[in-house]
């Protein structure tokens, strides 16, 4: 099978999603890194928070970043220790099942401290990545070499060499960002000081391909909204013949600069970054084709005034260079081909949606095994996601899946091009690996109820090899290498620390709208007794909170064990329930989510008699924090106490691509923006509210919490404001994460007495 992607499951993330390409905003403090020697909070009588923070939420030590070698002999992956965040590179031999250490961070750093550029630090924030050390690597197309970036330097490792296996590439010119092998493995491209460079590996020489960068112009880097909202992290792409690079140039001269700071260190200057707030000017993006031999650039022509968002680039051997672009409203997108010789574009196909167009980050994809290339494309045109097969001209050949299958993402294409492997499920609480033949019926490969994902790579005896990552109700987290649809070859050792208990979630379908819900009771639950309720909430677009599995509910089980019943509900606006369900929130991001969370909670209470609906608290982070603030402001009859972590206060202060997709432009939807703003309802607060925010947050800026607190103070509404000095949208410091969780629980418990 063709190598599709590097799977990021199992990273030490601080977000609610296991994979960053799924969710960008549901970040919760889990901790990560080294253990902090401090007294455990009084609320944490069992010491769970100490261990939870020290182990990064029991994720440190879990393998991540899988790459299968083209020869089908090894799986390369990254892993740290169970109580640290420094990751090293390992390989699993698929014949013997033996694991070997390929490369360590200590080998490369040689006693020096790891350094991060502003661009690398921003990328890790976009990925919600708190791991350190070797956090990424790339395998050459022939599988012979491994490219490892660390601390701004580049190292090439010869896989099968016994001596002289590690070569450091030239580092003159600045910190190396986003390095990539050329397809033939002879070169490495990278971005230094906002310019694109190419390095000849054998000769040890390098050349600067662009020379017009400035404080507001960059070459070869993905702009903020591409990384944060489109899950596109690269700003340049190699041609299949390794002679040309397509790169993006960003002009951010008209983009607002917002500043994040660490006020606990008044000598440190605030860090400024271009951040386009809703209704303001975006970065101007254009594409250039540069010849690596003479560094000459030809600029690509498309109507980037009408279609300014560059969402995807695909350059595959045997298929046309293809880009996907959207209009500002995200209601029109076009798939264009680029002629590398003339730099001109031609339209291949077009999609429209009266509300908004979601992005499938795995699309488009070309199949090049036959006499003519074929195009894989996905669409919600019939009311739910479907996978389509189209010819080289973009014309529909056939739909490969029905709307009922619940297609979500393409993982890979079999080597002979006869089948596609995808993620899909008709049940929004589950995700499965499905094999879809180009001719024939889809077959679900994974069976156990839970959340399955996969990374595909080499083939063996005509069958694809893949790494299977799953959190199931029966087994919790499991990582293994599989062969085709049947065979299990080897498990990959998980070095993460075993939790001290096993979560016991119960999944329900409730209410007239069939809301999906999960209920977590105390492990010492007593029949006939009622318990106060914690609504653990996200409620926003693009993310499913209720997922079948076991290990993802560790924190919720710990909360429940302190005398609560924890409930989560997914209402309208969340994905995997069809186009109409998801787009019901268009123009107003609070009214329907709030109504559905209340209706879902009451429907759960009708089935689970032990819920005391007179004592309900609500807690969430990012969109969940935004929701929690609205919940206690607008529905004090339901919610007695709320905790708003890193909340959006006013959508006018959030970024363009996310906000305008759901809300439209501020000047065209003044009523919706006003109704959706927490500032509008601040005067209605009569319940206890805790606001938490990191001062260095460059996703939901600290200004949101300041504005919310200011509005509440002016309205005479008492509230608690917890400032996390130096924290970003993640809470990566384990000592802070541990103390914060204890403080949150004490606040909720006090409010529900």
Question: How far apart are alpha carbons 536 and 388 in whole angstroms?
Answer: 37
Question: How far apart are alpha carbons 86 and 131 in whole angstroms?
Answer: 6
Catalytic residue list contains 729 = yes
Single out the residue of 118, 114, 91 nearest to residue 102, CA to CA: 91
The catalytic residue among 26, 551, 729, 733 is: 729
Please, what is the Cα angle at 41 between 37 and 46, to 5 degrees?
A: 90
Instruction: For the beta carbon of residue 216, count every other beta carbon within 10 angstroms.
Output: 15
Question: How far apart are alpha carbons 64 and 492 in whole angstroms?
Answer: 10
Catalytic residue list contains 697 = yes
Question: How far apart are alpha carbons 178 and 190 in whole angstroms?
Answer: 6
For the chain, give percent helix, strand, coil, nearest 5. Answer: 20, 35, 50
Single out the residue of 736, 574, 579, 619 nearest to residue 23, CA to CA: 574
The catalytic residue among 60, 622, 696, 709 is: 622
CA 317, distance to chain mean position in Å, is 28
Please, what is the Cα angle at 3 between 25 and 325, to 5 degrees?
A: 50
Single out the residue of 77, 92, 149 nearest to residue 119, CA to CA: 149
Instruction: For the beta carbon of residue 79, count every other beta carbon within 10 angstroms.
Output: 25
CA 724, distance to chain mean position in Å, is 23
Instruction: For the beta carbon of residue 437, count every other beta carbon within 10 angstroms.
Output: 13
36 burial level (CB within 10 Å; 0-12, 13-18, 19+): middle
3 state DSSP class of 22: coil
Buried b (16+ CB within 10 A) or exposed e, 3-21: bbbbbbbbbbbbbbbbbbb
Q: Which alpha helices (DSSP H) does 576-691 contain, by range?
A: 579-582, 591-607, 623-634, 656-663, 670-676
Alpha-carbon distance values, 293 to 194, 198, 245, 290, 640 (Å)? 20, 10, 11, 9, 67
CA 242, distance to chain mean position in Å, is 30
Question: How far apart are alpha carbons 433 and 445 in whole angstroms?
Answer: 6
The catalytic residue among 178, 459, 596, 697 is: 697
Point out the residues that are catalytic.
622, 697, 729
């Amino acid at each position: 099978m063709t190598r599709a992607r590097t799977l990021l499951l199992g990273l030490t993330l601080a977000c609610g999603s296991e994979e960053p390409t799924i969710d960008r905003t549901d970040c919760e403090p889990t901790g990560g890194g080294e253990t902090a020697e401090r007294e455990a909070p009084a609320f944490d009588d069992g010491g769970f928070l100490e261990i939870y923070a020290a182990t990064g939420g029991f994720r440190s030590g879990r393998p991540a970043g899988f790459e299968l070698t083209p020869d089908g002999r090894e799986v390369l992956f990254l892993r740290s220790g169970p109580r640290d965040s420094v990751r090293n590179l390992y390989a699993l031999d698929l014949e013997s099942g033996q694991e070997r250490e390929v490369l360590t961070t200590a080998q490369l750093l040689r006693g020096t401290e790891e350094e991060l550029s502003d661009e690398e630090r921003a990328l890790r924030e976009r990925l919600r990545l708190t791991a350190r050390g070797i956090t990424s690597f790339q395998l050459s197309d022939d599988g012979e070499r491994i490219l490892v970036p660390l601390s701004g330097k580049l190292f090439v490792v010869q896989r099968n060499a016994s001596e002289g296996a590690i070569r450091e590439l030239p580092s003159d010119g600045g910190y190396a960002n986003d390095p990539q092998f050329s397809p033939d493995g002879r070169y490495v491209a990278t971005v230094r000081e906002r310019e694109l460079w190419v390095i000849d590996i054998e000769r040890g020489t390098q050349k600067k391909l662009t020379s017009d960068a400035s404080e507001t112009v960059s070459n070869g880097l993905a702009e903020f909204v591409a990384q944060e909202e489109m899950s596109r992290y690269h700003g340049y792409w190699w041609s299949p013949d390794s002679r040309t690079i397509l790169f993006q140039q960003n002009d951010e001269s008209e983009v607002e600069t917002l500043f994040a700071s660490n006020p606990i260190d008044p000598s440190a200057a605030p860090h400024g970054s271009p951040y386009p707030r809703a209704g303001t000017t975006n970065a101007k993006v254009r594409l250039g084709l540069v010849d690596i031999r003479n560094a000459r650039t030809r600029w690509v022509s498309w109507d980037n005034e009408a279609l300014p968002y560059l969402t995807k680039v695909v350059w595959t051997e045997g298929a046309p260079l293809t880009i996907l672009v959207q209009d500002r409203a995200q209601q029109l997108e076009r798939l264009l081909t680029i002629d590398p010789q003339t730099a001109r574009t031609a339209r291949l196909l077009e999609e429209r949606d009266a509300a908004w167009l979601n992005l499938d980050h795995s699309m488009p994809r070309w199949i090049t095994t036959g006499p003519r290339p074929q195009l894989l494309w996905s669409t919600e045109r019939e009311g739910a996601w479907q996978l389509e097969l189209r010819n080289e001209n973009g014309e529909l050949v056939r739909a490969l899946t029905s709307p009922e299958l619940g297609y979500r993402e393409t993982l890979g294409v079999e080597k002979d091009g006869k089948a596609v492997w995808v993620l899909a499920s008709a049940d929004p609480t589950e995700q499965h690996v499905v094999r879809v033949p180009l001719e024939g019926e889809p077959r679900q490969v994974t069976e156990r109820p839970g959340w399955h994902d996969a990374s595909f790579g080499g083939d063996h005896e005509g069958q694809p090899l893949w790494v299977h990552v799953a959190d199931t109700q029966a087994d919790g987290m499991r990582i293994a290498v599989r062969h085709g649809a049947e065979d299990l070859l080897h498990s990959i050792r998980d070095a993460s620390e075993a939790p001290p208990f096993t979560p016991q979630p119960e999944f329900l379908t409730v209410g007239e709208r069939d809301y999906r819900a999960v209920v977590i009771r105390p492990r010492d639950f007593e029949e006939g007794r009622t318990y106060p309720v914690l609504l653990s909430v996200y409620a926003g677009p693009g993310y499913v909170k209720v997922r079948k599995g076991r290990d993802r509910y560790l924190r919720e089980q710990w909360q429940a064990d302190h005398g609560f019943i924890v409930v989560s509900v997914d209402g309208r606006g969340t994905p995997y329930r069809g186009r109409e369900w998801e787009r019901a929130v268009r123009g107003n991001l609070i009214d329907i989510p709030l109504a559905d969370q209340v209706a879902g909670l009451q429907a759960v209470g009708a089935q689970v008699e032990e819920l005391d609906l007179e004592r309900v608290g609500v807690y969430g982070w990012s969109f969940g924090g935004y929701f929690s603030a609205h919940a206690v402001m607008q529905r004090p009859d339901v919610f007695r106490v709320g905790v708003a972590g890193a909340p959006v206060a006013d959508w006018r202060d959030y970024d363009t691509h996310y906000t305008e997709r759901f809300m439209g432009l501020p000047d065209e939807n003044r009523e919706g923006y006003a109704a959706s703003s927490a500032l509008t309802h601040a005067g209605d607060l009569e319940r206890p509210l805790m606001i938490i925010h990191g001062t260095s947050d460059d996703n939901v800026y600290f200004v949101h919490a300041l504005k919310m607190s200011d509005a509440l103070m002016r309205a005479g509404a008492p509230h608690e404001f917890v400032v996390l000095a130096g924290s970003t949208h993640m809470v990566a410091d384990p000592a802070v994460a541990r103390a914060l969780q204890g403080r949150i629980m004490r606040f909720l418990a006090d409010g529900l007495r």
